[in-house]
Structure 1
Amino acid sequence: MTHPDTLAVDFGTSNSAAALLHDGAIVRIDVEPGEATLPTAVFFPADGGEMQIGSQAAQSLIEGEEGRYMRALKSILGVPLVHETRLISGRRRAVTDVITAFLTVLRTKAETQTGRSITRALSGRPVRFHSDHPERDTQAEKDLRGCYTAAGFTHVDFLAEPEAAAISCQAMGAADGLGLIVDIGGGTSDFSVFRNGASGPDILASHGIRLGGTDFDHAVSMAHAMPVLGLGGQLRRTMGAGLLPVPRAPYVELSTWAKIPFLYTQDTRRMVADMVRHAVDRPAMERFAEVLELELGHELAFAVERGKIAANNGEGSAAIDMGALQRGLKIALAVDDLNRDLAPTRTELRAAMAETLTQAGISGIDVGRIILVGGSSLMGFIADEAQAICPQAEVLRSNAFTAVVDGLALATA
């Protein structure tokens, strides 16, 4: 695709970025003051005020402003939930409406900073939005294309995110030979095997699975935070003897970034109030009821995310700080806990890397470079698993948050 006013957009589950190519140079859009990336998050004030995005949205949540916070919007593209409307800040909106509003802000910022009219986009996309669901994958791209169109883009193309990262890596002067892109995002993990060529990287194979950093958070939350709210407990029967297990479903939703806002309904609150009355561990269930009543789900998710990062960094004092719910409540989280919680994830990621090499028709021993991309690639076990598959490879940490958008911008030339 060749067009001078094509906006490269890396619309991510956790973070987003935008850039243009000007005279062969990448011009990243300051999507936040002095920043080339911003959290993919929005906040709608309860009083009907203007939608906030990125760090400002998170700050409003942290400061306790009344309103609705939403994150990980990309995760539900391709499923019916993305089109269901909810009452948000006095208006019924679907997630597609929210994504459209977010993309509109990115386009407007790009136009303001460049003084150019922008109606074309090259968007990154995961190799697979959904693992093992081709129809959902097709629908997810269709949903996202519709959001771009509604945001004022008249022409939209897509490029797989790890392939964009490979373009960026070659432009930075990566050595010849075989390389493996390992792009671990918030909602998906993508892999490309490439060989540098005179006209750009030759992509030998690309593969992806629906697994990312928000799934890491989910696993840690289910193992450590949710039991403090009653998960794993028991309920007394309304009639008769015996006990029933506390249902898992609401905890699964509470520990899933994209689904948290949809828990705040009267039906869910009534269900949990009934669970409080019958809970064997009533204090734990009362905590769950308070999370719903005060809409503290995202504060809890942030606490889990911070604890995960601290444990990954080897901080001895790492913990999930649940003080927003109960003063002084902290759940210790060691790196050994993290490794145990994420063991199934590690297995899936290693299998996906191996499958990518198989599709490329090469052995891991032949890979000279592993390029880590995406914020969640900073988890220590990612490099360990990649090197287990490619034992002779050098591990390179590309610019984790901008490699994809840079490659997309270069691909518009």
Structure 2
Amino acid sequence: MPSNILAIDFGTSNSAAAIVESGQVRHIPVEAGGQTLPTAVFFPQGGGTMRIGEAALDALIAGDEGRFMRALKSILGTSLLHESRLIAGRRRTLSDVITAFLRELRLRSEAATGRSFPRALSGRPVRFHSADDEADARAEEDLRACYLAAGFDEVTFLAEPEAAAIACGGLGGDSGIGLIVDIGGGTSDFSAFRATPEGPEILANHGIRLGGTDFDHALSMAFAMPELGLGGELRREMGEGRLPVPRAPYIDLSTWAKIPFLYTPETRRSVERMVRLAVEPKRMERLSAVLTLELGHELAFAVEAGKISANGDAGAGRIAMDVVEPGLGVPLSSADLDAVLDDARAQLGEAAGRTLAAAGAAPGDIARIVLVGGSSLMGFVESEMRALCPDATSIRANAFTAVVDGLALAAQRAA
């Protein structure tokens, strides 16, 4: 009997839906031509149909008037989720936006399959918030409320690395202990497991609030934001001496989820004042242009593209900032990448080590490391895991679909 449970991987950067048919996982084409769709929305200025996924990205690239948003998952569990804001001529909360995205995902899934899905099995990170139990519990309840408001009668959750273990548990043989390393856009999750005839036996889970968008943030602050005035100085309006340029607007401009909320008259006036007082006004004028023309997301995509290119075989990339000023850009080498992300690498290694300790396993007990999640494609991730477990075989699973595959299999078993 077909399951009426829809498996959904609602990710920080990408999302997917799947079911099991004839014993095989079927990825539902919620995005034409792809197994996943970007977790992005676009609200046209003055009203009109909300666009999601590639259509939202296309609207941004085309320069359509409206509000683009990405990385909304990172807002769950925070007060920002329920703040009402004027978005494309109408007051909405970010909870409303996530609900609208999930509703569209449900409707597309039902249209593609000809079936109704009153129930959802959703992935969730081991920890939405690393060290705040209250915020972590609140984040799951926030997401549950969004699913129910999106038209589902029931939603249950499964830790994302556990889902990946279900999908990938047999990879590399059945001997020894496996370690799932799931590095997503906003969180990093780890599961130590042992394969059994009944499926993977989860020995321990651990997770931290660190992912690809944090990598982007660090690179943007180190390389892109100085070209917009970060690190510069301001002359005092009265008296002698100088003051450092405030970091706050650059922090928000480097944070995917906060970019849309910088485009306010108050922020623009504050930056215009800094332009007048700047020791290097040219750089500050670039920041003013980014806010006036609402180029924050284009700049964030440029940083992300530079990260990916520096991570490639050539080992050299560039953050192309032509959208701000023709010819403007910053070289980005693999060495630069490693230096800026060294702290992130250390955090991932520590988190993986804590997972092994919780499982009662030594590094030498790990037979295979299974890398999933888009950000696991970063070279330093695999390098750090190999350093931790030098005897393990490293396996790259279906980076973008392993979680939804496991969710679909788990949903079928629960039917």
TM range (shorter): over 0.9
Contact 2:228 2:284 in 1 (8 A): yes
> How far apart are residue 266 of structure 1 and its match?
1.0
TM-score by length of 1: 0.98
> How far apart are residue 396 of structure 1 and its match?
0.2
Contact 1:4 1:22 in 2 (8 A): no
Three-state SS of the structure 1 residue aligned to 2:169 is helix
1:349 aligns with 348
> How far apart are residue 171 of structure 1 and its match?
5.7
> How far apart are residue 48 of structure 1 and its match?
1.1
Contact 1:318 1:332 in 2 (8 A): yes
The answer to whether 1:70 aligns with 2:69 is yes
Q: Structure 1 residues 193 and 119, CA, compared in 2 at 3 Å: closer, same or farther?
A: same
Tell me, in whole angstroms, the C-alpha distance in 1 between the residues paired with 2:208 and 2:409: 25
2:230 aligns with 231
1:262 aligns with 261
AA aligned to 1:85 is S
Contact 2:174 2:196 in 1 (8 A): no
Tell me, in whole angstroms, the C-alpha distance in 2 between the residues paired with 1:235 and 1:45: 37
2:215 aligns with 216
Q: What's the CA shift string for 1:296-338, capped at 9, x where partnerless?
A: 0000000000000000004365100000010011111111111
List runs of 5+ in structure 2 lacking aligned partners. none
Tell me, in whole angstroms, the C-alpha distance in 2 between the residues paired with 1:174 and 1:113: 35
TM-score by length of 2: 0.97
AA aligned to 2:186 is G
Tell me, in whole angstroms, the C-alpha distance in 1 between the residues paired with 2:317 and 2:87: 35
1:56 aligns with 55
The answer to whether 1:6 aligns with 2:2 is no
> How far apart are residue 88 of structure 1 and its match?
1.0
Number of matched residues?
A: 412
Q: What's the CA shift string for 1:49-75, capped at 9, x where partnerless?
A: 211111111111011111110000000
Q: Which moved more, 1:166-175 or 1:218-227?
A: 166-175
AA aligned to 2:347 is E
1:102 aligns with 101
1:100-179 paired onto structure 2 within 5 Å: 100-170=99-169, 174-179=173-178
List runs of 5+ in structure 1 lacking aligned partners. none
2:244 aligns with 245
The answer to whether 1:45 aligns with 2:32 is no
Tell me, in whole angstroms, the C-alpha distance in 1 between the residues paired with 2:167 and 2:295: 39
Contact 2:172 2:368 in 1 (8 A): no
Q: Which moved more, 1:25-34 or 1:346-355?
A: 25-34
| Identity rate, percent | 63
AA aligned to 1:283 is K
Three-state SS of the structure 2 residue aligned to 1:318 is strand
> How far apart are residue 173 of structure 1 and its match?
7.4
The answer to whether 1:396 aligns with 2:395 is yes
> How far apart are residue 175 of structure 1 and its match?
3.2
AA aligned to 1:304 is V
AA aligned to 2:255 is T
Tell me, in whole angstroms, the C-alpha distance in 1 between the residues paired with 2:261 and 2:312: 32
Tell me, in whole angstroms, the C-alpha distance in 2 between the residues paired with 1:61 and 1:216: 22
